[in-house]
Structure 1
Amino acid sequence: MSNTTYTGSCFCGAVQLAVNGEPEAMGYCHCDSCRHWSAGPINAFTLWKPEAVRIIRGEDNIGSYHKTPQSHRKWCRTCGGHILTEHPELGLTDVYAAILPELRFTPGVHVHYQEAVLRIHDGLQKFRDLPDDIGGSGVSMAE
């Protein structure tokens, strides 16, 4: 495992975080919840073990919302900038790829592709929902 540390922040910089090592996975989520949360047609994710993620500034400035037990979304109370989503049932934390400028984003998969509003032809595997090893059907879809 790499000892590399990547840092990132919310839009205004009031909340800063650091992640250590390399992500468990990187990819794109097409689910309705992520699209609404990110206000875009797709969300780029980097998944980390929770112990690899730490808030280094502004922890008291973090708001939290969880529509479901699977996703605890966090944002900066000052600027509204999104920071991360904790996925307690998966034992993973999604630090949004856009807030880690030094991390080379290398997506490996698309999840919840059945909900896609923007079809992407990039040769990556497209899962109808999630891979079976994290509780999904494991069913792939065509681009």
Structure 2
Amino acid sequence: MSERYQGGCFCGAVQVEVVGKPEAMGYCHCDSCRHWSAGPVNAFTLWKPDAVRITQGEEALESFEKTPASRRRWCRRCGGHVLTEHPGMGLVDVYAALLPDLAFAPQLHVHYQEAVLRIPDGLPKMKDVPAELGGSGEVLEE
């Protein structure tokens, strides 16, 4: 049986379920994610779109696209962030904090050249994103 993880927005009006294992987990340091999350770094879990399902409150979801690379979605009732769709990568980021039962095991840092908080944890520090996702694949010094 596949693993299932559930979570929701801040008020609980929007509920999301993911099935299986994430494609990747890590930290994003890009300016957009930092502003969106209101923090110095954003913890992500990336899933194939067919592994992600809104189980409640889809009508309460709003969205915003600063660029075609990311469609950010949040609950209009509480403002709680739910996920970001990355159509060019074919992945959906369900924020790690929304999935309390998923053992968060980060594998890398992306957009580390934009970091405002250095995290010396031994994980790869990507200049942007891995080459297979359209980035340079360049790894920076920790």
Q: Give the structure-2-normalised TM-score.
A: 0.99
Query: Paired residue for 2:12?
Result: 13
Between the aligned partners of 1:3 and 1:53, the Cα distance in structure 2 is 13
Q: CA deviation at 1:111?
A: 0.2
> SS of the counterpart of 1:3?
coil
> Cα distance, 1:48 vs. partner?
0.2
Opposite residue 48 of structure 2, the aligned amino acid is: K
- Aligned AA (1:53): V
Cross-structure match for 1:65: 64
CA distance in 2, matches of 1:25, 1:81: 23
1:128 and 1:4 map into 2 onto residues whose CA distance is: 32
Where does residue 85 of structure 1 map in the other structure?
84
Deviation (angstroms), 1:100: 0.3
- Between the aligned partners of 1:53 and 1:132, the Cα distance in structure 2 is 24
Superposed, 1:87-126 pairs within 5 Å as: 87-126=86-125
CA RMSD in angstroms, aligned pairs only: 0.7
Identify unmatched segments of 5+ residues in structure 2.
none
CA-CA distance at 1:89 after TM superposition: 0.7
Amino acid at match of 1:136: G
Q: Report the AA paired with residue 106 of structure 2.
A: P
Secondary structure at the aligned position of 1:11 is classed as coil
Deviations 1:6-58 (A, max 9, x none): 00000000000100001000000000000000000000000000000000000
CA distance in 2, matches of 1:136, 1:50: 20
1:44 is matched with: 43
Superposed CA offset, 1:71-121 (max 9, x none): 000000000000000001111000000000000000000000000000000
Give the structure-1-normalised TM-score.
0.98
Task: Kindly provide the amino acid, as one letter, of the partner of residue 67 in structure 1.
Answer: K
Gapped regions of structure 1 (runs ≥ 5): none
Q: Take 1:112 and 1:94, find their aligned partners in 2: how far apart are those partners?
A: 15
- Name the counterpart of 1:133: 132
Distance in 2 (alpha carbons) for counterparts of 1:133 and 1:13: 35
SS in 1 for 2:44: strand
Q: Distance in 2 between matches of 1:4 and 1:11?
A: 23
Runs of 4+ in 1 over 4 A off after TM superposition: none
Q: SS of the residue aligned with 1:133?
A: helix
